[in-house]
Amino acid sequence: MAFSELSRPWRAPGHSNPRGGLLLCHGFTGSPQSMRPWAEDHAGRGWAVDLPLLPGHATTEQELTTTSWQDWYGCVREAALDLSREHGPIAVGGLSMGGALALALAADPQLRGHLCAVVAVNPGMTLPAAANLAELIAPVVRTLPGIGSDVSRSGVQEEAYERLPVRAVGQLRRLFRRTRRELGAVEVPVLLATSRVDHTVPPTDSDIVAAGVRGPVERLSLTRSFHLATLDHDADLLFEASARFLDQHVPTPGGR
């Protein structure tokens, strides 16, 4: 897979008086390309948007094997703190593993007061039972077929790795397990967008989130999209719901 400019980190400062800060987190083996339409939509509405590239992504599968879940989390945590220092309490949105990272940020006690809303799109919380063996078999079975481009809309291609590094799957399992365990610490409002048909993350993972968090939850059903809803038929519906939700729950900087 050749990665284009769309897979690089992307930032938008917002208008001269930004509506607020929004951090967006992409998914496992993917890149900012899958989140770029969401980022550009909200930047056009006046939000200051930060869309980082997670360590080990959009380079090579081999590089991903050298990273850990702490590297991915540390990247978005630092971005969240930087954005919050500039704009006050921010919102965080994420797709798939990015949704898990967003929820992990909201559960972090040291980030309390920095985050005020989460938008999670098909957030991952579980993996197949075989993933429990990932770290054991990684020295023998290094990669598996990739999971990218689960899109209903024709002609859409995700920029993602074509192979799945097994060692990295073990790290993903650790991240999901930790995030599930800490869902009860999430007290900010959550918009939970779930595709009815998803070949990558079971829709029941969203139910785990809804049942586990302590803050208010708003559900959005995506009936015409597969996993990558940000690139699929329901993208406009998702972006409108996200903008409405953030306007409701993110305070305007400086009380403007």
Q: DSSP letter for 112, please.
A: B
Give CA–CA dist 209/179, Å, rounded: 10
Q: Is there a catalytic annotation at residue 227? A: yes
Reading the block at residue 68, the tokens are 């850990």
Q: DSSP letter for 54, please.
A: P
Q: Is there a catalytic annotation at residue 4? A: no
User: Pairing relation of β-strands 217-222 and 10-12?
Assistant: unpaired
CB of 151 within 8 A of CB of 132?
A: no
User: Pairing relation of β-strands 163-165 and 217-222?
Assistant: unpaired
Reading the block at residue 228, the tokens are 């990558």
Element (H, E) at 40: helix 36-44
CA 176 to chain centre: 12
Give CA–CA dist 75/36, Å, rounded: 18
Give CA–CA dist 8/171, Å, rounded: 23
Angle at which helix 97-107 crosses helix 166-181, to 10 degrees, equals 40
- Sequence-distant (≥ 6) Cβ neighbours of residue 177 within 8 angstroms: none
Q: Is there a catalytic annotation at residue 84? A: no
Q: Please give the angle made by the CA atoms of 14, 120 and 81, to the nearest 5 degrees.
A: 50
Q: Please tell me which residue in 227, 234, 242, 249 is annotated as part of the active site.
A: 227
Q: Please tell me which residue in 41, 50, 150, 198 is annotated as part of the active site.
A: 198
Q: Please tell me which residue in 31, 34, 84, 96 is annotated as part of the active site.
A: 96
Catalytic residues: 96, 198, 227
